[in-house]
């Protein structure tokens, strides 16, 4: 388990009768992988089950999942998964969990259920789903759930109030307080206030923008910038956005239509999600405004392409355009709009794409040089407002890295929550609520589960370390054949290198060192192949380190004949 602010915590004791236990298996101290488990009277409720996208220091990894170990032996106790909204960092790991128990009921808003159903279908899973709406209240396995409308960068997001014998918990999911949302659906502050009057014991609030002062701008405020960029571009416009950001796509369609441009969706998830959103009435498309990619050539430059890949994902459409291996080629006079913010860890990938597109002649417009993105998360002013109307007894910041959690905690304290009642937790820390009193009860091991192609969980931290060494320092193999009776060298040392320095003559001087070291080792009675292998490793490792200041992966092989 990674280090956390309570390093001396032991394994939690058995949950007291009537108590509520809260354990985050992801999403606290990171952006993504959101998954929180609530336990009450022997039953488990899961809120969200998302993925985390890999960083540059995790080569070859496709996705990172929450660690299901804590619940793996208790899957029969899971009464439901509730999904707050349809973003990948909240729903992306659901198919992987359903592979372990396929009949876990899933609850969510209509759009969220449609998105997760489509995602599961791609994995050949038919989930058991239940649509819920804001204002609805139902009991699932001893958990009394009330669903509350919140505004976010995807339609149909919900917060949830969880009532048990232990007390009342309010979890916001991802939210902000846009007062002029495109769909007219604002965060239901009246219900937040009503719950506050009822008495919220623990408030789990989104921390992502807690360190940004003031209020998050309205989604409508980016319209002038989109209009200006699209109006001033003579050739094609490519807009990169999350494939679930229906409001952003709606604005791009509206501006493109106003300027007589056709819209083309690029990327499998973009095509799929926008079809779902349009069919369900969340996306309004004027007649003839959207065309198929097969019709692209019929309209020349008079098009706006809406693409996936705003975070630099290697296989997404925009990355492939930047690399020149997509059917759409970006060139002189085209404009590319990155209508998103940078998720921490993706900076290098995104800047590489910006550089490549610029080199191909495109103008690249992004958040740093134009007002083409607003966040979907509440800033400090909004969070303070919520703390003041919810008036929680305890605060537990969620959804964010350490700096976000700390900033959120300080807002809670400033609003009147006692410092001792403010829990800055991390994944795996256990919080128990018993008869309206909360405390940190212990910690359970929580790791990273890496998805690499068809491999799930087989890649370890040691495997990643080896990949990083191979990628950064290279590889050297040394093969030596020795006589099994005398221990004398019969052939070799034969040295090969990749990604280090492949000049064969470079290793001439170290060959003699290896021979001398092996001769000394045999004379001292060390004639086992394992022992001699370690002699070879130490000898060439010392030479490489001293002469070249490098630490490549070294694979020595000693063969007896």
DSSP assignment of 463-510: HHHHHHHHHHH-EEEEEEEE-TTT--EEEEEEEEEESS---GGGGHHH
Question: How high is the pLDDT of residue 365?
Answer: 85
Residue of 19 and 52 predicted with greater confidence: 19
Work out the pLDDT band at 136, boundaries 50, 70, 90.
very high
Q: For residue range 342-382, what is the model confidence (pLDDT) as tens digits?
A: 666 666 777 888 888 888 888 888 877 777 788 899 999 99
Least confident range from 210-214, 232-236, 319-323: namely 319-323
433 pLDDT above the threshold of 90: yes
Is the omega angle on the peptide bond into residue 493 within 30 degrees of 0, that is, cis? yes
Q: How far apart are CA 240 and CA 337, in angstroms?
A: 6
Q: What is the 3-state secondary structure (H, E, C) of 126-180?
A: CCCEEECCCCCEEEECCEEEEEEECECCCCCCEEEEEEECCEEEEECCCCECCCC
Instruction: State mean pLDDT over 507-515.
Output: 72
In the chain, what are the helix, strand and coil shares in percent, each to the nearest 5?
Answer: 35, 25, 40
Q: How many CB atoms lie within 10 A of CB 292?
A: 9
Question: How high is the pLDDT of residue 24?
Answer: 93
Question: How high is the pLDDT of residue 2?
Answer: 40
Residue of 101 and 455 predicted with greater confidence: 101
Nearest partner of 328 among 285, 372, 233, 264, judged by Cα:
264
Average pLDDT, whole number, for the chain? 85
CATH 1.10.10.1100 holds for 20-214+376-453: no
Question: How high is the pLDDT of residue 269?
Answer: 87
Question: How high is the pLDDT of residue 472?
Answer: 55
Query: How much of the chain, in percent, has pLDDT values that exceed 90?
Result: 49
Instruction: State mean pLDDT over 147-165.
Output: 96
Look at residue 425 and give its three-state secondary structure: coil
1 pLDDT above the threshold of 70: no
- Select from 3.40.50.11270, 3.40.50.2300, 3.40.50.1100, 3.10.20.580 the CATH code of 461-560: 3.10.20.580
Cα-based torsion angle of the residue sequence 199, 130, 21, 419 in order, rounded to the nearest 10 degrees: -40
Q: How far apart are CA 449 and CA 96, in angstroms?
A: 11
Residue of 85 and 452 predicted with greater confidence: 85
Domain ranges of the chain: 20-214+376-453, 219-365, 461-560
Residues 212 and 379 sit within 8 Å (Cβ to Cβ): yes
Q: Which long-range contacts (CB under 8 A, 24 or more apart) does 448-451 make?
A: 448/52, 448/64, 448/65, 448/67, 449/64, 449/65, 449/66, 449/67, 449/68, 450/54, 450/58, 450/61, 450/63, 450/64, 450/65, 451/61, 451/62, 451/63, 451/64, 451/65, 451/96
Q: How far apart are CA 480 and CA 505, in angstroms?
A: 17
Q: How far apart are CA 23 and CA 70, in angstroms?
A: 9
Question: How high is the pLDDT of residue 3?
Answer: 42
- Select from 3.30.70.270, 3.30.499.10, 3.40.50.10710, 3.20.20.140 the CATH code of 219-365: 3.40.50.10710
Distances from the Cα of 187 to the Cα of 5, 210, 251, 421, angstroms: 32, 17, 20, 26
């Amino acid at each position: 388990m990674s280090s956390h602010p309570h390093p001396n915590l032991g394994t939690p004791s058995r949950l007291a009768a009537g108590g509520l236990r809260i354990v985050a298996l992801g999403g606290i101290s990171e952006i993504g992988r959101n998954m929180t488990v609530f336990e009450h009277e022997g039953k488990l409720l899961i809120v969200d089950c998302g993925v985390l996208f890999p960083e540059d220091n995790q080569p070859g990894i496709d996705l990172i999942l929450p660690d299901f170990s804590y619940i793996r032996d208790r899957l029969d106790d899971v009464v439901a998964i509730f999904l707050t909204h349809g973003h990948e960092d909240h729903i992306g790991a659901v198919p992987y969990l359903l592979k372990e128990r396929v009949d876990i009921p899933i609850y969510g808003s209509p759009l969220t259920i449609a998105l997760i159903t489509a995602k599961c279908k791609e994995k050949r899973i038919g989930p058991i789903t239940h649509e819920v709406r804001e204002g609805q209240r139902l009991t699932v396995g001893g958990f009394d759930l009330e669903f509350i409308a919140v505004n976010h960068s995807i339609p149909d997001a919900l917060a949830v109030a969880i009532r048990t014998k232990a007390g009342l918990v309010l979890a916001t999911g991802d939210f902000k307080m846009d007062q002029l949302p495109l769909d007219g659906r604002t965060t239901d502050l009246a219900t937040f206030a009503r719950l506050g009057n009822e008495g919220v014991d623990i408030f789990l609030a989104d921390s992502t923008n807690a360190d940004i002062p003031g209020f998050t701008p309205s989604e409508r405020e980016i319209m002038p910038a989109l209009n200006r960029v699209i109006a001033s571009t003579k050739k094609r416009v490519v807009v990169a956005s999350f494939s679930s950001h229906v409001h952003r796509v709606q604005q791009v369609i509206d501006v493109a239509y106003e300027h007589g441009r056709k819209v083309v969706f690029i990327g499998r998830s973009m095509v799929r999600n926008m079809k779902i959103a349009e069919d369900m009435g969340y996306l309004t498309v004027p007649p003839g405004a959207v065309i198929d990619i097969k019709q692209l050539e019929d309209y020349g430059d008079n098009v706006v392409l809406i693409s996936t890949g705003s975070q630099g994902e290697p296989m997404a459409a925009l990355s492939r355009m930047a690399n020149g291996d997509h059917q759409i080629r970006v060139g002189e006079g085209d404009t590319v709009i990155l209508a998103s913010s940078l998720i921490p860890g993706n900076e290098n990938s995104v800047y590489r794409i910006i550089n490549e597109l610029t080199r191909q002649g495109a103008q690249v417009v992004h958040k740093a040089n134009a007002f083409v993105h607003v966040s979907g998360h509440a800033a400090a002013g909004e969070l303070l407002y919520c703390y003041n109307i919810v008036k929680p007894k305890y605060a537990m910041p969620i959804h964010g890295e350490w700096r976000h959690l700390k900033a959120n905690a300080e807002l809670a304290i400033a609003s009147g929550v006692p410092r001792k009642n403010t829990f800055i937790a991390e994944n795996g820390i256990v919080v128990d609520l018993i008869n309206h009193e909360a405390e940190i009860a212990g910690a359970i091991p929580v790791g990273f589960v890496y998805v690499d192609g068809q491999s799930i969980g087989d890649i370890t931290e040691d495997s990643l370390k080896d990949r990083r060494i191979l990628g950064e320092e290279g590889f050297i193999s040394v093969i030596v054949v020795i006589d099994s009776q005398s221990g004398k060298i019969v052939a070799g040392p034969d040295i090969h290198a990749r990604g280090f320095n492949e000049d064969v003559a470079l290793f001439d001087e170290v060959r003699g060192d290896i021979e001398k070291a092996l001769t000394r080792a045999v004379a001292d009675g060390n004639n086992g192949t394992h022992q001699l292998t370690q002699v070879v490793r130490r000898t060439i490792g010392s030479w490489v380190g001293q002469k070249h200041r490098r630490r490549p992966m070294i694979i020595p092989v000693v063969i007896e004949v």
